[in-house]
Amino acid sequence: MKRRTFLSTVAVAPVIAAPVLAQPTPVQQPPAPTPAAPTAPSAPPLQQQPPAAVEVVRLEPVGHDAAGEMVPHFFTAVEMATLTRLSAVLQPALNGRPGAIEADVPAFLDFLIGQSPAERQAIYRKGLAGLEQQAQSQFKKAFAAIEAPQVETLMAPLRQPWTFIPPTDPIARVLREAKADVRTATTNSREFNAGGAAAGGGRRAGGMGQYVYTLE
Amino acid sequence: MAEQPYDVLIIGSGASGGMAAHILTSKGANVLVLEAGIGMEPRHRGLKPVYDLPYRGFGKPGRLSHVLQANEFNANQWVDEQQVPYTYAPDARYNWVRARLIGGKSNFWARMSYRLSDFEFGGKDHDGFGDNWPIRHADLAPFYDRVEPIFRVSGRKEGVASLPDGQFLDDTSPDPGAAVTFAAAGKKHGMTLTKIRRSLGDGQLASSANLLLPKAQATGKMTLVTNAVVRELTVDKATGKVDGAHFADTRSGRELHATAKAVVLGASCLESTRILLNSKIANSSGVLGRYLHDQFYIGDAVVASVPEARGGKAPRGLVGGSGYIPRFRNVAKGEKQKFLRGYAFDIYTGGTPDAKYIPAWGAELDEKLNGYRGSAFSTTVMGEVLPRYENHVTLDPKVVDAWGIPVLRFNAKYTDNEKLMAQDAIDTIVEACTESGFEVLHRNAIPHPPGYSIHELGTCRMGDDPKTSVLNKWNQSHDVKNLFVVDGSSFVTGGSQNPTMTILSLSMRASEYLAEQMRTGDI
């Protein structure tokens, strides 16, 4: 659907491109006398005239997300399942606004963390593994499959006050990082902003910012 | 063909360099300003929705690992750390935040506009630590008096000894009620609630680029060259005076040399020192690069909630404004704290506390945030860092920048004095919040690493003794008489006040002195 919308936009663009400053048609001059009859039909002579001034139509390409879905490549399938469940719990759809799943946050974090320094990657890898291991040992199920009260149990470290120095426990650490990252990735998403507008306001949405383009 | 020699070569176009250009051209000097960056123009900025940014506002991971202030919107304004790196000792992280463009960091500063007091200029007289400045507030006051109207500083005359009053656009807005309540609770500690003093500039910008350099350009006496990175100053061997600088065109790598009768360094605190270290001059004292200090910085030092303001239902005037508590420790006669010197803090009221301070998630978090909406009371603490000989920069013997210029290596740490001061700040603020009936949601006494405040100072300090200082009281090199350093590197101590007004005033004073010396032929 998104791709079709994009393609139809591009297809329509040339139709809109109507010249508004075209030069008037030159007056046809009588043909010069020919010295001899041609032996074969000749092409009409090229007219020498300046190119018409044409308004350059501003094309409007759209973002990549309109053309396809993100393809995760950093997290393993198990890690991705854990992160997806965690994201859904941390930032569910609320009050008519999309949540983390609707905003494609797990796939976005796969991209973001996949590009991050090794230290940050390790926080996620170790933490997600820890959550999965705890779910398996305590509840004999994957984190992605445990019940809501069981999730609550494993997320207990988030009940501790936030501290400037982050916790060293891998689960506590990833919960803290994920809480912030999932929230930001959700509220700064196109889906959340669109959903926020539909729900009657953009409060807590990422909104607009003054972007600095690359300086030479 | 270059117009040479210039009367004065000014390196840097930020607050200090811009002021030097303004003053010197107004006195008739023909100046050349070399700026390492370019000018920021309207085409460099544009509104974008955050979801259109490649990283949804997170920014490219690892790109600006030391610029904690950077985000994906402003990432391109900071100096590229790969192009111009720096290094530090393994256990001494330093966050050096740099901008290279016309106007420098004055394009982005927080505009906090305070004077230093004699508790800073004469710090040693109060507690015996370190050294006094060779000047006092009375020496600089006439220049503060002229700088403040240029930058259109708003404020209120408060009569606080640790924060001298100035020439303000009178701020008559009422203090937020929550801040008044808080300050009343802290009065027993000596707290006084003041207005934040802020440069209004032209309404949109309060920068060298719009307030100083245009004045210099209007004289027809300024030549401004961008994309010019200075490699080193050059010295006339016959006279021992500086006679210009080698610089590189950052776009082509072309090497050039500019000639001038005098040189003013205003390249920013540590870039000026780097140029001098690379030039191997002005260091007979051996203290060039030494006494690096700044102000330690704790954002969200204490975050609280004002109960009466919750749910966005604050009575009119209770929240929605800010305030400033100037230094109140170690100012009373005979007062002895566990630490030397003092700290100050900003107060912000209103808004919603950050979600990280609410120990919940999902729907519960959303509900709690709604409950706290509009009731936040937060503080940012900045404290004096004692200038110590041990805290220093040198040239890294192995690392160079994109133009082959040796880079700086930092070795600076906070000590117990800063840690004790930070803890006292948080304890005192929490106590006052509690007595005010606020709910304390978060507290933190651990500062960011050195450099975070972007108030790096010292390394080229002034003093009366050429054996213990690089500059004299006129920001003039003890060793090289036609060399002046007019930025924050000249500071002896920094106090807890934001330094820009002092930098501007020192530059104005030094530039007028230089102009007079040139007029009389002494330089």
- What are the tens digits of pLDDT across the range B371-393? 999 999 999 999 999 999 999 99
Nearest one of A83, A86, A80 to A151, comparing CA atoms: A86
Check if the beta carbon of residue B169 is closer than 8 Å to that of residue B178: no
Distance in angstroms between the alpha carbons of the first and the last residue of chain B? 26
pLDDT at B478: 98
Nearest one of B19, B21, B180, B230 to B106, comparing CA atoms: B19
Low-confidence ranges of chain B (pLDDT < 50): none
CA distance B358 to B214: 48
pLDDT at B218: 98
Cβ contact, residue pair B49, A90, below 8 Å: no
The SS3 assignment for B447 reads coil
pLDDT at A48: 67
A165: contact with B, CB 8 A cutoff: yes
Tell me which DSSP letter residue B289 carries.
Answer: T
pLDDT at A44: 60
pLDDT at A28: 44
Token reading at A215:
């300086």
Tell me which DSSP letter residue B207 carries.
Answer: S
Cβ contact, residue pair B76, A190, below 8 Å: no
Cβ contact, residue pair A212, B77, below 8 Å: yes
B160-183 tens-digit pLDDT: 999 999 999 999 999 999 999 999
pLDDT along chain A (216 residues), means of 10: 35 34 40 46 62 82 83 95 98 95 97 97 98 98 97 97 97 98 96 77 67 86
Quote ipTM for the complex. Answer: 0.93
- C-alpha distances (whole Å) from B179 to each of B174, B320, B350, B352 are 10, 10, 11, 16
Cβ contact, residue pair A209, B40, below 8 Å: no
| pTM for the whole structure | 0.91
For chain B, give the mean pLDDT.
96
Nearest one of B407, B412, B419, B503 to B455, comparing CA atoms: B503
Check if the beta carbon of residue B166 is closer than 8 Å to that of residue B149: no
CA distance B49 to B52: 6
Q: Residue A211 is inside which H or E element, if any? A: strand A208-212
- C-alpha distances (whole Å) from B47 to each of B73, B144, B368 are 9, 36, 32
Q: How far is B281 from chain A (nearest CA, A)?
A: 32
- Chain A interface disruption, residue of B41, B43, B47, B56, most A CBs within 10 A: B56
The SS3 assignment for A57 reads coil
B138-159 burial, b for 16+ CB within 10 Å, e for fewer?
eebeebbeebbebbbbbbbebe
Strands, DSSP E only, in B81-218? 87-88, 153-155, 169-170, 198-199
pLDDT at A65: 79
A216 interaction partners in chain B (CB closer than 8 Å): 38, 227, 251
CA distance B3 to B6: 7
CA distance B14 to B32: 14
pLDDT at B60: 94
- Chain B interface disruption, residue of A115, A164, A203, most B CBs within 10 A: A164
Q: Residue B278 is inside which H or E element, if any? A: helix B269-279
Identify the burial level of A177 via C-beta atoms within 10 angstroms of its C-beta, where 0-12 means exposed, 13-18 middle and 19 or more buried.
Answer: middle
- Which residues pair with residue A19 across a beta bridge? none
- Chain B interface disruption, residue of A70, A85, A162, most B CBs within 10 A: A162
- Which residues pair with residue B46 across a beta bridge? A211
